[in-house]
Structure 1
């Protein structure tokens, strides 16, 4: 799932795109003899090299071929780059990653109070593939509601006839498994705005807690809230 990169790129472009400094500051790094390729100190910022061969301050570059991670999102974090909206999921990641070009983004979003599986990547093609309605990517949720669940929900959600308020096209069939009186697992193959909460709301339920257990083939089982793993 790594980004495809041109085999050879300019040193100044590599370092700026990976968030180490601006292109105008690269000459300063080079003049301090902090950058090398294959053991040779580099002085020319326009020299074209392979990103994987570049070393700065005696360390290999951080993810030169791209970033794709799975985060177990905690409650209280927003899937936005705008810090005015509150604590961001990106605040849980290395600060330098937010200086990369392209900057990492989430593949789809989770509400502020929703926890669970969230993919973050700088691979724009991957984001498109995972969020395109035509791909029918599976997402599995653990849902807790405010009153006892009824088996009629299983039939309704799987029927493909449930239409949300303000929409004309009914939801695609969804698989509901009731776990106990107030808890169920729901698997969707689409991602409409607040879809899980709105589906239950049509039948008079309020969702008290929502956790996405898996996204596509990726599951957060074994990951604590706030932890992430590279894919």
Structure 2
């Protein structure tokens, strides 16, 4: 990769500005100043910008993040802070959420720069299960679990939802597992039964379970990465 392209990606700046920084003698490779923007980087090169090391990426990246309320899952939003705020990673702007959450929904978000991997999570064809903890406005009515298992017809939809598993924890707290990702699906499913979702928290995607505190993130394990696209256990 050209040095100016690498610097542009790492710092989130234009190639023109990256070239200017290189000419300003702010970039070193293996301890030596390099002023040639077209310099070809090799994987073994150690790059520093203004005395700070810049790590070269080796392959795609995969992270889990516990999203707090008030953050959006897009990488750029003029009105709200994004989940990239929590990711202290080189070229974090190149990561995207594999399955977004609403601004007021908390919990598990998977971040990656591997488009094919995230497609296996979001594509309806793969039926990747997502599990949510749901707090309801009023106690769950009798028979709702059976309705969810049979499929719910949502307002404005032509087909009912796929069978969903509903576990009652308390009269107003339930655990719901779905295998689709329709627009505001969980909230709309409960609205169709005359209830209102007060709080929504995603705790699992496929076989990947959230195990970190709000605002924290960590790399996924090799086993977690490989589990995407596999049938549920």
Shared fold by TM > 0.5? yes
Q: Does 1:176 align with 2:150?
A: no
C-alpha distance in structure 1 between counterparts of 2:181 and 2:76, whole Å:
22
1:1-231 alignment, distance < 5 Å? 9-19=1-11, 21-24=13-16, 25-26=18-19, 28-29=21-22, 32=25, 34-37=27-30, 41-51=33-43, 53-57=45-49, 60-62=53-55, 64-65=57-58, 66-94=60-88, 97=91, 100=93, 103-159=94-150, 161-221=151-211, 223-231=212-220
Distance 1:172 1:139 in 2: 13
Instruction: Render the CA deviation track for 1:18-53: whole Å, top value 9, x for unaligned.
Output: 23643333364365263214x665443323233453
* Consecutive unaligned residues in structure 2, runs of 5 or more: 221-233
Shift of 1:118: 0.7
- CA spacing shift, 1:177–1:17, aligned 2, 3 Å: same
> Can you give the 5+ residue segments of structure 1 that lack an aligned partner in the other structure?
1-8
Post-superposition offset of 1:64: 1.6
Alignment length (residue pairs): 217
**What is the rounded CA distance, in whole Å, between the counterparts of 1:128 and 1:145 in structure 2?**
31
TM-score normalised by L of structure 1 = 0.82
| DSSP-derived class of the 2:147 partner | helix
RMSD of Structure 2 on Structure 1 (CA):
2.5
* TM-score under structure 2 length normalisation: 0.81
